[in-house]
Every structure is written in C-alpha cells, then in structure tokens.
C-alpha cells in the first residue's frame, strides 16, 4: 500500500492536492489582488512619493524636496480654514442626520397606514445622484423664484450669503441622505423583542418611559454605527458643496477635499496637493482609531 493511499485513508490531503488547491485559490483571487494593488496600494505609495516632491501637473519640478510641502501645509491658513469648514459641516450634519432618522423610524414603526409609502418617501431621495439633488435645491433656494423664499416670504440669498450658505447645504444633505439612516434605525426597531414592551406595560410604564428605558438603549449599537459612518462620510464632503456654492462665498463653505482638488488641478501643484491630502488622511485615521477605541471600551463594559 503506497503512502498516498495511507494519506487518503488517514483523512490527510496529499501535498500535490494542497498545492493544486492553493494555485486554484490564488487564480480566483488574482483579479481582486491585481485590482487592489493597482488602484489602492500603488496610488497610496505613489501619492506619498508625490507629496515629497514639488511636482506640477505638467511634470515639472519632480525632484524630491523632503517634507517641505508638509511644513507649508501646516502654515497654510487656507488649509486650516478648509479643515474648519469640513469639521463644522460634519458637526452640523451629523446631529440632525441621527436625530431626524430616529424620529422618522419611530413614526413609521408605530404602524401608520401605508407604511410602504412612508418608507419610499423617506428613502427615495437617497437614490438620487448628487448632481440632481444639488440642482434641485439650487432652484429651491433661488432668491426670486425659489420655494423656500416663497414659503418664508423673503428674498434671502441662501447660497451666496456666508451666514446661510453652510446651513443651506446641510439642510440639502439631511434631506438627501437621511433615508439611509432611517432604514438602519427601522430595521433595528423591528428587531427589539415585543415581550419587553409587554412586560413594561404590565409594570405600569407608559409610552415615553418605554421609549427612554427600552427603545433608546436597545438602539445604542445602531446609533454608534450610524454616527461613525456619518462622521466619515461628512469629512469627505465635496459634491453638493462644489455644485451648490463652489466653496463660496469667499471660501466660507469650501471643504478640504475641494481645496485639495483646486490645488492639484487648478493651481497645478500636485506635490503640495498630495501633502495636504495625506495630512487630511492622517486626521481621518486618527478619528477612526479614536472611534474604535471608544467602541471597544463601551463593548467591554
């Protein structure tokens, strides 16, 4: 009896079969690995290399200059102003996107008639492209013909006034993206055992007491996920601001992503734009790590 037969009888896979399975596995994974290396790993490496040069979009000044771009980025007032606008947008949008989504989910979960219509109405805007949403709200905010001023009875220049431009974009963003958070909350609400509410009712707890003692605590994990996703999404805001305000007036709404774009493709400073992008990337990594630490600590309690 040969050794291969013994291996098969013992339940062990022959080495040749293992090698064949390994090759097959790599063959199936190869397209993803190649795409991952070409479109993620290589751009990260090359982008960091660019940040160490003074290269322009024309290819000039490609020699290494070390960390001079990073030093300039930390001294650049426009970088800090754009970062401030991004953080301000994140704060203004995250809070209502959590609270409004929760309120909408609670209302639908009450069992109102025509639930499919409510779900469609709340979620449908999320399916629209950013260009469509932005153009729609530009008309809504039109000082002379817009619906907003028609309702409020004024002629406020919502998108060209530095006092109202950011909040106008935030309102648009909330209307556009709240449907996704609404669905997450609604799914979480429907997974809360009904027996908990029945037991609370028997103990004399009213609807408000059940809300704050059962519903809100049960939704805590979902709320944490929504907050994390929303913060990361808001930090990368670009489309709606670029279309609706162009970053104006006077840079009052310009986010850091738009500043990176303008520096690289309008001012033609690819090296410096790459350095600013990596500073922003470091901020996102720090924020993500902080959120993971907070999440793990809460989970350990």
Q: Is residue 97 within 8 Å of residue 177, measured between CB atoms?
A: yes
Average pLDDT over residues 150-167: 91
Please report the pLDDT score of residue 300 as a whole number: 60
On the question of pLDDT at 203 being above 80, the answer is yes
How remote is the C-alpha of 100 from its chain's centroid? 17
Averaged pLDDT of the chain? 88
- Every domain range in the chain assigned CATH 1.10.3720.10: 77-300
How many C-beta atoms surround the C-beta of residue 141 within 10 A? 24
Write down the pLDDT at residue 201.
87
Q: What confidence score (pLDDT) does residue 177 get?
A: 94
Q: What is the pLDDT of residue 2?
A: 47
Is 2 or 194 the better-scoring residue by pLDDT?
194
pLDDT band at 109 (very low <50, low <70, confident <90, very high): confident
User: Degrees (nearest 5) of the Cα angle 287, 290, 291?
Assistant: 85
Q: Flag whether pLDDT at 171 surpasses 60.
A: yes
Please determine, for residue 14, whether its predicted confidence score (pLDDT) is greater than 80.
no
Tell me the three state secondary structure of residue 267. coil
- With a CB cutoff of 8 Å and minimum separation 6, the contacts of 69 are 51, 52, 54, 271, 272, 274, 275, 276
Residue 68 pLDDT more than 70? yes
Residue range 110-120: average pLDDT?
Answer: 80
Q: Is the pLDDT confidence value at 174 over 90?
A: yes
pLDDT for 75 beyond 70:
yes
Predicted local distance difference test score (pLDDT) of residue 13: 55
CA distances from 28 to 14, 15, 37, 64, 259 (A): 21, 20, 15, 39, 40
Return the pLDDT at 92: 95
Model confidence at 10, pLDDT cuts 50, 70, 90, reads: low
Give the pLDDT band (50/70/90) at residue 12. Answer: low
Task: Identify the pLDDT of residue 4.
Answer: 47
Please say whether the beta carbons of 94 and 234 come within 8 A.
Answer: yes
Predicted structure pTM score:
0.85
* Domain 77-300 falls under CATH 3.40.630.30: no
Mean pLDDT is lowest, of 21-25, 44-48, 166-170, 213-217, for: 21-25
């Amino acid at each position: 009896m040969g050794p291969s037969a013994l291996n098969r009888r013992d339940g062990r896979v022959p080495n040749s079969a293992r090698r064949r399975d390994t090759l097959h596995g790599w063959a199936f994974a190869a397209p993803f690995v190649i795409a991952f290396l070409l479109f993620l790993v290589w751009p990260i490496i090359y982008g960091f290399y660019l940040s160490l040069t003074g290269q322009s979009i024309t290819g000039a000044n490609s020699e290494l200059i070390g960390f001079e771009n990073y030093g300039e980025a930390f001294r650049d007032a426009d970088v800090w102003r754009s970062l401030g606008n991004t953080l301000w947008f994140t704060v203004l949008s995250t809070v209502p996107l959590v609270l409004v989504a929760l309120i909408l989910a609670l209302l639908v979960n009450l069992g109102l008639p025509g639930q499919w219509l409510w779900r469609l109405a709340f979620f449908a805007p999320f399916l629209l492209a950013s260009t469509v949403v932005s153009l729609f709200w530009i008309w809504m905010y039109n000082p002379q013909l817009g619906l907003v001023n028609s309702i409020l009875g004024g002629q406020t220049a919502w998108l060209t006034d530095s006092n109202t431009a950011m909040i106008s974009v935030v309102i648009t963003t909330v209307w556009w993206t709240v449907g996704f958070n609404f669905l997450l909350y609604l799914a979480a609400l429907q997974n809360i055992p009904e027996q908990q509410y029945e037991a609370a009712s028997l103990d004399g707890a009213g609807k408000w007491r059940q809300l704050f003692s059962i519903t809100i605590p049960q939704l805590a994990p979902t709320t944490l996920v929504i907050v994390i996703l929303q913060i990361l999404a808001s930090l990368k805001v670009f489309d709606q601001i670029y279309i609706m305000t162009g970053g104006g007036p006077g840079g009052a709404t310009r986010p850091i992503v738009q500043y990176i774009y303008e520096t690289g493709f309008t001012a033609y400073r690819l090296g410096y734009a790459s350095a600013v992008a990596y500073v922003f990337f470091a901020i996102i990594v720090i924020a993500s790590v902080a959120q993971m630490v907070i999440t793990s600590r809460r989970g350990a309690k």
